[in-house]
């Protein structure tokens, strides 16, 4: 029986009735993705549907990570949120208004940093600042840019060009550029995927610190389960594409004040990690082919795998005994 | 290591130069057998006929002529006897005018075409047909419509410089990295500011490549154009000296044309390095 327990525990980690019944009220929704679809023309007068009828609410100040395999349309969702792409159907409501096109309120941190190589670090950040405050005097623009550069720990490198910086430093400039315009929402498309593990760790710490300090609302795409666990308040799981769906929204049970180095000792960490990995390994495929009975795309199931291994063991034996 | 390879290359270059000069000198210094002739006829024909001396000048003759030209490059003794500096100045001036006009036209037009895939496709056939036409083929048309030979030469320079610049500008603008354009879009940068702050710097290295190709072609074409229109310029000078049978002057001009072409090319290469930034 004891050898079977881990599997039973994982089954137990499925929808928590309390979390499932709690739906975000309209006033809570800061961002609301409402029934968006993205279709591309395919050969032979057909269309390929990347995803359709996708609904996702987000609270103000919340850090949401989206996980899914390549081709599930994660980047498309982010581009629609940014306004770089228009949805084929549906709409995105931010702060009570449907978005149309890009906006300085929604800053994007690009996967490949996207710095302008002919501008210095200061020039790159100042370009964003002067776009936000068009009439501001030069001194103010420079001061704001320098402040943002200092926030990401690059003070002293203002006059270097991107080619003189390491990959991690370039991405820091990208983050400084996004932060400098004081956006309402920060959108990040696998911002750390091109970095080595050590640099990635330090940058995750920086991003977490900045976002907690400023109460920034963040939507981030990642492939990295540990990154999602460390950074996110809620993790959105996408099934495989095409015709991807939001399989479930996992609420992160770990405390707000997390320490990356101690994270794997936190109660519930492994339950959460195993849940996410199970999803990526098998459920992302099986769920695409057959969604469970009663799946409502408008209200994807909310899951809260909060149990430590010991707790899980106790509860499962309990419920098994009751059933028997 | 790089220093030693530079040194060795320099030594090798000098050795090659010495060898060429030596062969040249030997090739022209021999005398051939001559036949007995009427002394008056011999006096008329000079050394070529009397001693069998080669009509090709030797390197020393050319060096002497070159030194004479360089010592006094700007003398002006009537329409058929002007210093080589004045002739070069005319040619460089024509190239500057025609090329300058081409820059003014090709870069803005290329920008507009590059920004619009529709225009790009619509104008492509015209560019493809007009580009390979030898610029001198335009000369009769230019002479007929402009009715001024000097302006026609400038027009020919314009028409030959415009295509490489136009094509490179279109290509550079059209291939601006999408990421950079997205940065501008997310920052709500307007189209004019975007054109100057993102697209122009991104396309600048490609545009400069086009400008460098153009200046090379313009300098090639000006010599031929001036041979046709006559009057002034280094091309006319070469043709005039050919008519004078002054081979030393022709060889001198060839070297000077090469030097000026190299300087023009290096100037644009330097400009290109100034606008190119590694990522």
pLDDT tens per residue, range B33-81: 666 777 777 777 776 666 667 778 888 888 998 898 888 888 888 877 8
Q: Is residue A110 part of a domain?
A: yes
Q: Is residue B265 part of a domain?
A: yes
The predicted structure's pLDDT at residue B144? 93
Same domain, A105 and A125: yes
Q: For residue A6, what pLDDT band results from cuts at 50, 70 and 90?
A: very low
B-interface mutation test, from A83, A101, A114, A128, most B Cβ less than 10 A away: A114
Q: How open is the CA angle A223-A228-A231, to the nearest 5 degrees?
A: 140
Q: Is residue A25 part of a domain?
A: no
Q: Is residue A210 part of a domain?
A: yes
Q: Is residue B143 part of a domain?
A: yes
Beta carbons within 10 angstroms of residue A279's beta carbon: 24
The two tokens of residue A170 are 């370039």
Yes or no, beta carbons of B201 and A116 under 8 Å apart = yes
Same domain, A194 and A76: yes
Give the torsion sign (CA, A108, A113, A114, A115).
positive
Given the cut 0.85, state whether the ipTM is greater than it: no
CB A262 within 8 A of CB A205: no
User: What does the DSSP assignment read for A286-300?
Assistant: HHHH-PPTT--TTSP
pLDDT, tens only, A255-294: 888 888 888 888 888 888 988 998 999 888 888 878 887 7
Q: Considering just the CA atoms, what is the radius of gyration of chain A in Å?
A: 21
- Among residues B219, B241, B234, B238, the alpha carbon closest in space to that of B86 is found at B234
Q: Is residue A77 part of a domain?
A: yes
Yes or no, beta carbons of B188 and A107 under 8 Å apart = no
The predicted structure's pLDDT at residue A117? 96
**Alpha carbon distance A203, A170 (integer Å):** 11
| A123: closest CA of chain B, how far (Å) | 11
CB A125 within 8 A of CB A204: no
Q: Is residue B26 part of a domain?
A: no
**Alpha carbon distance B197, B200 (integer Å):** 6
Using a CB–CB cutoff of 8 Å, tell me whether A175 touches chain B: no
Please compute the mean of the pLDDT values over residues A1-24 and round it to a whole number: 46
Q: Which of A108, A131, A161 sits opposite B188 (nearest CB)?
A: A131
Same domain, A90 and A199: yes
Percent of chain B having pLDDT more than 70?
95
- Among residues B82, B37, B99, the alpha carbon closest in space to that of B225 is found at B99
Same domain, A104 and A197: yes
Using a CB–CB cutoff of 8 Å, tell me whether B183 touches chain A: yes
Q: Is residue B199 part of a domain?
A: yes
Same domain, A173 and A317: no
Same domain, A313 and A164: no
Yes or no, beta carbons of A161 and B277 under 8 Å apart = yes
Using a CB–CB cutoff of 8 Å, tell me whether B196 touches chain A: no
Q: Is residue A180 part of a domain?
A: yes
Q: Is residue B6 part of a domain?
A: no
- Residue owning tokens 């409502």: A296
| B202: closest CA of chain A, how far (Å) | 8
Question: Can you give the length of chain A in residues?
Answer: 324
Q: Is residue B168 part of a domain?
A: yes
What are residue A222's DSSP bridge partners?
A: A67
Task: Classify B13 as helix, strand or coil.
Answer: helix
Q: Is residue B11 part of a domain?
A: no
Domain residue limits at B148:
84-275
Q: In what order do the strands lie in the sheet with A302-303?
A: A106-109, A185-189, A217-222, A63-67, A234-238, A246-251, A302-303
Same domain, A56 and A200: yes
Domain residue limits at A323:
1-16+306-324
Q: Is residue A301 part of a domain?
A: no
H helices of chain A, in order, are 5-12, 17-21, 74-82, 121-132, 138-151, 167-180, 197-214, 225-231, 269-278, 284-289, 309-323
| B187: closest CA of chain A, how far (Å) | 5
Structurally, chain B folds into a number of domains equal to 1
Structurally, chain A folds into a number of domains equal to 2
A162: pLDDT strictly greater than 60? yes
A19: pLDDT strictly greater than 60? no
Q: Is residue A38 part of a domain?
A: yes
Yes or no, beta carbons of B186 and A108 under 8 Å apart = yes
The predicted structure's pLDDT at residue A323? 56
pLDDT, tens only, A93-134: 998 889 999 999 999 998 888 999 999 999 999 999 999 999
Yes or no, beta carbons of B279 and A83 under 8 Å apart = no
A254: pLDDT strictly greater than 90? no
Same domain, A73 and A197: yes
Same domain, A198 and A246: yes
| H or E element at residue A139 | helix A138-151
Segment 64-123 of chain B within 8 Å of chain A by CB: none
Question: Can you give the length of chain B in residues?
Answer: 279
Same domain, A213 and A149: yes
Residue of B nearest to A102 (CA): B186
| A84: closest CA of chain B, how far (Å) | 7
Entry pTM:
0.83
Beta carbons within 10 angstroms of residue A321's beta carbon: 8
Q: What is the CATH number of the domain that holds A78?
A: 3.40.50.300
- Among residues A43, A40, A44, A127, the alpha carbon closest in space to that of A87 is found at A40
Same domain, A280 and A254: yes
The predicted structure's pLDDT at residue A22? 57
Q: What is the dihedral of CA A79, A80, A84, A89, to 10 degrees?
A: 140
Same domain, A4 and A150: no
Q: CB-based contacts of A237: which residues, under 8 Å, 6+ apart?
A: A67, A68, A246, A247, A248, A249, A250, A276, A279, A284
pLDDT, tens only, A71-97: 888 999 999 999 999 999 999 999 888
The predicted structure's pLDDT at residue A308? 59
Q: What is the CATH number of the domain that holds B171?
A: 1.10.3720.10
Give the torsion sign (CA, B218, B219, B222, B224).
negative
């Amino acid at each position: 029986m004891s050898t079977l327990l881990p599997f039973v525990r994982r089954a137990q980690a499925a929808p928590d009735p309390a979390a499932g019944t709690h739906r975000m009220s309209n006033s809570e929704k800061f961002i609301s993705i409402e029934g968006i679809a993205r279709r591309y023309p395919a050969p032979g007068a057909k269309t390929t549907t990347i995803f359709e009828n996708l609904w996702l609410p987000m609270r103000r100040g919340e850090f949401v990570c989206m996980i899914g395999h390549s081709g599930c349309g994660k980047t498309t969702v982010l581009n629609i949120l940014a306004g770089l792409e228009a949805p084929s159907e549906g709409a995105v409501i931010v702060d009570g208004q449907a978005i149309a096109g890009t906006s300085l309120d929604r800053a994007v941190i690009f996967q490949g940093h996207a710095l302008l190589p002919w501008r210095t670090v200061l020039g790159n950040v100042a370009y964003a600042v002067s776009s936000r405050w068009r009439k501001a005097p030069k001194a103010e623009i420079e001061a704001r840019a320098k402040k943002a550069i200092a926030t990401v720990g690059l003070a002293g490198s203002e006059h270097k060009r991107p080619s003189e910086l390491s990959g991690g430093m370039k991405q820091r400039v990208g983050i400084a550029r996004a932060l400098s315009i004081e956006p309402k929402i920060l959108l990040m498309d696998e911002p750390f995927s091109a970095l080595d593990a050590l640099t990635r760790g330090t940058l995750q710490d920086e991003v977490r610190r900045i976002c907690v300090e400023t109460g920034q609302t963040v939507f981030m795409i990642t492939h990295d389960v540990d990154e999602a666990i460390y950074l996110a308040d809620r993790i959105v799981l996408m099934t495989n594409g095409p015709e991807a769906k939001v399989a479930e929204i996992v609420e992160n049970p770990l405390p707000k004040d997390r320490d990356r180095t101690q994270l794997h000792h936190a109660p519930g960490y492994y339950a959460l990690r195993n849940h996410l990995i199970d999803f990526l390994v098998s459920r992302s495929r099986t769920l695409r082919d057959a969604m469970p009975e009663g799946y409502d795309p408008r209200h994807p199931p909310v899951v809260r795998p909060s149990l430590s291994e010991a707790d899980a063991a106790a509860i499962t034996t309990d419920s098994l005994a009751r059933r028997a | 290591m790089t220093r030693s390879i530079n040194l060795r290359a320099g030594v090798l270059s000098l050795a090659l130069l010495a060898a060429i000069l030596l062969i040249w000198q030997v090739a022209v210094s021999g005398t051939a057998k001559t036949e007995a002739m009427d002394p008056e006829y011999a006096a008329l024909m000079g050394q070529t006929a009397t001693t069998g001396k080669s009509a090709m000048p030797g390197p020393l003759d050319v060096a002497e002529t070159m030194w004479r030209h360089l010592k006094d490059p700007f003398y002006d003794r009537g329409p058929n006897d002007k210093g080589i500096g004045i002739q070069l100045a005319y040619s460089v001036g024509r190239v500057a005018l025609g090329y300058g006009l081409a820059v003014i036209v090709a870069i803005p037009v290329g920008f507009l075409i590059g920004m619009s895939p529709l225009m790009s496709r619509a104008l492509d056939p015209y560019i493809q047909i007009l580009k390979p036409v030898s610029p001198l083929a335009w000369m009769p048309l230019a002479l007929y419509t402009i009715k001024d030979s000097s302006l026609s030469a400038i027009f020919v320079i314009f028409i030959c410089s415009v295509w490489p610049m136009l094509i490179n500008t279109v290509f550079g603008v059209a291939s601006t990295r999408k990421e950079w354009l997205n940065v501008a879009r997310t920052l709500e940068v307007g189209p004019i500011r975007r054109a100057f702050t993102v697209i122009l710097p991104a396309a600048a290295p490609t545009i400069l490549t086009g400008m460098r190709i153009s200046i090379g072609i313009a300098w090639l074409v000006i010599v031929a154009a001036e041979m046709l229109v006559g009057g002034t310029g280094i091309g006319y000078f070469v043709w005039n000296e050919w008519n004078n049978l002054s081979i030393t002057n022709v060889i001198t001009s060839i070297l000077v044309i090469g030097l000026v072409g190299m300087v023009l090319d290096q100037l644009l290469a330097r400009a290109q390095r100034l606008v190119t930034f590694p990522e």
